[in-house]
A and B are shown apart, each in its own frame.
Chain A
Amino acid sequence: MKADIILAGVGGQGILSIAAVLGQAALADSLYLKQAEVHGMSQRGGDVQSNLRLSSSPIFSDLIPKGKADLIISLEPMEALRYLPWLSETGAIVTNSQPFINIASYPEMSEIEKEYSKIPNKVVIDAEAIAKEETGTIRTANMVILGAAAPFIDIEFSKIESAVRSIFERKGEEIVEMNIKALHAGYNKARK
């Protein structure tokens, strides 16, 4: 088993929670794992990414080579496109469709949609709307996206679910349930 995943978004959107859940699930599955994060200056509203590598054999590089990523998971549509050089020919993008606009030069959505029409393997969903509908808050949008990405990762869904449980455990049962619900909503949406 090997999964090289790029997590993309804007500082503060919650990509590190996705990484934490997948990391936990991978550990429970006795997989090798490396996960490079961005800390420091860029976290102040800049573009952030995390390279997450899972494998059944030892991993050397913390960074994914170009053209080798199996999956881009993004909380923001333009941010996913920033990592196209890393995506393999057979790779997929799972992204939130809602833009995060904190810069004046943000492109027109129609232009972004045009770029997505060229990408064969993708799931583009309005994670915020789904999160709002299912859990009453957009704060679980990252778990919706993780759910939507789950069919692309060779880890049993139930293991991802238990990982969500253990990562959010200390925040209380209500928060756990909300995140599980969001995870399922994303999963079901992607499988349709």
Chain B
Amino acid sequence: MEKQLLLGDEAIARAAIDAGISGVYAYPGTPSTEITEYIQHYSKAENKNIASKWATNEKTAMEEALGMSYVGKRALCCMKHVGMNVAADAFVNSAMTGVRGGLVVLAADDPSMHSSQNEQDSRFYGEFAMIPMCEPSNQQEAYDMTRYAFDLSEKFSIPVLLRITTRLAHSRAGVERKEEREQNSLSLPENSSNFILLPALARKRYKDLLNAQKDYEKSSLDSIYNIYLEGSDKSKGIIASGIAFNYLMENFPNGINYPILKISQYPLPTELFKKITEECDEVIVMEEGAPFIEQQLRGLLDNCLNIKGRIDGTLPRDGELNPDIVAKALGFSNQEGSQIPELVTPRPPAMCQGCGHIDMYNALTEVARKYANHRVFGDIGCYTLGALPPYRAIHSCVDMGASITMAKGASDGGLWPAIAVIGDSTFTHSGMTGLLDCVNSKSNVTIVISDNETTGMTGGQDSAGTGKIEEIVKGLGVEPDHIRVFEPLKKNMELMKQIIDEEINYNGVSVIIPRRECIQTLKRKKK
């Protein structure tokens, strides 16, 4: 077949369709969003019956994927790395139940935090849940290993974690497709006991999972994606996982004489690590993200091997790798171009001109300024950019939904005014339960749900609560008199300020809903 130019994300999406999935379940999150978008687009264009509507959050997505697998069909569940925290309960327990139809969980990590609040490494989750993991090193492998991961999942009746990082997700290359495969047909388990994790049954399942570990490791050892390249110069051996392998090879355009162990499948095949550490004087471990492999090799006592990597400082402990960092670790000298002239200033991202969040912040900060001790707890979305000048409007940004609950905790501790700012999509993702806590405690909090009727930061995906926010808020028990809706526009500034001030001074739960469509999605509709 002819090669197609695909992003790593698109290669995974294409492979999932070709592997015969019946559903993709995801909440948008950079750098994973394009996978689901691709499947939504092409399953429609190609008349494929694939469930692909955005989920409310990563946990609902993971559980829906497990349900699809329960009836014998294949499902892909995608998320960014911090989404794994949200999905963790379902994810870890899906390793206990096992699966029927192939179930692949895609985690897109974001080392260097291009669009994230931390750079946690999802491989720890895979190890924690004790399931096999795949970590492709390029776009073709992303395609091939997605199909492979579904096969592995069905072979072992276990979910498989597919781990990528930003550079692979958002980089294009030519990819060759395989033949398409039919979807599985509906089938029900004769005995559901695997899926009923009552303690007595779960204890049995856990033993099964423990016993399966050696099979997973054997599969890694035999994997065509874990490669041992022999080398004659044994003064050094190099272990490279995922895309670190590319940066390594980039530095040896004329071939390499050191033994190389390329890792793209986990759990780690001990035998290959024994071989490279025994035959080489020293071993450098290169991996994108945390020193996951290196830490296991060193062990707690760290006294038996000559291991170099991110822990001893041969490579930096944080941030993504690149060919220059890897060159330095290999002792090659960089021939940099000239320095960046001093006049070049940073150009940070900003809210778009004409954005409704801006009008909301202008009103909010002007009112809040009257109250010396006010604090505004922010959340995750475009409006997080309200932390930057000229607004400097928020005092925290931690995780999805934390605005409402941190405001409640601070209010419990005596803070007034305690204000939360959250977007509509983040509210339905993880804000609703916190709002119920506020209602049940009759907390003195002012909650702004800045509603732009979309999931904006990730490019304008459907938002689960569009058209329903007031009903949800009312249903959770907020008094109708203290649910205030307005259109955030310059001409409404006085009204907006008045409403905000009134609700700050109401001793109870207030919800203010400034609502105006995202100007980016509006622009797209007009085209």
Contacts and interface: CB of A to CB of B under 8 A. Distances in A.
A5 to B, nearest CB: 13
B114 A42 contact: yes
A172 interface: no
B243 interface: yes
A61 B457 contact: no
Given A39-B31, A103-B347, A33 B337 contact: no
Given A37-B171, A61-B323, A42 B335 contact: no
Contact of A65 (B114, B172, B334): B334
B336 A63 contact: no
Nearest to B4: A27
Query: Chain B interface secondary structure, helix, strand, loop or mixed?
Result: loop
A107 interface: yes
A27 B3 contact: yes
A103 B345 contact: yes
A87 B337 contact: yes
Contacts of B458: 40
A171 to B, nearest CB: 10
A151 interface: no
Given A38-B114, A39-B170, A61 B246 contact: yes
Interface in B305-345: 322-324, 327, 334-341, 343-345
B338 A37 contact: no
Contacts of A69: 337
Given A23-B5, A63-B323, A85-B336, A40 B246 contact: no
A91 interface: yes
Nearest to A78: B344
B173 interface: yes
- The size class of the interface chain A forms with chain B is 35 or more
Interface in B164-213: 167-168, 170-174
A38 B170 contact: yes
B350 A62 contact: no
Interface string B242-273: 01011101100000000000000000000000
A165 interface: no
B34 interface: yes
A36 B171 contact: yes
Contact of B34 (A39, A88, A102, A111): A39
A41 B249 CA distance: 30
Contacts of A43: 349
B28 to A, nearest CB: 10
A111 to B, nearest CB: 5
Interface stretch (A44-52, A141-149, A153-161, A176-184): A44-52
A84 B338 CA distance: 6
B348 interface: yes
B250 A85 contact: no
B171 A115 contact: no
Interface in B449-502: 457-459
A10 B352 CA distance: 13
A81 interface: yes
A176 B162 CA distance: 40
A14 interface: no
Nearest to A12: B352
List the 7 shortest-distance A-B pairs measured between CB atoms, nearest first: A40-B30, A40-B115, A46-B349, A61-B250, A36-B171, A44-B349, A62-B171
5 contacts: A60-B247, A67-B335, A102-B347, A102-B350, A103-B347
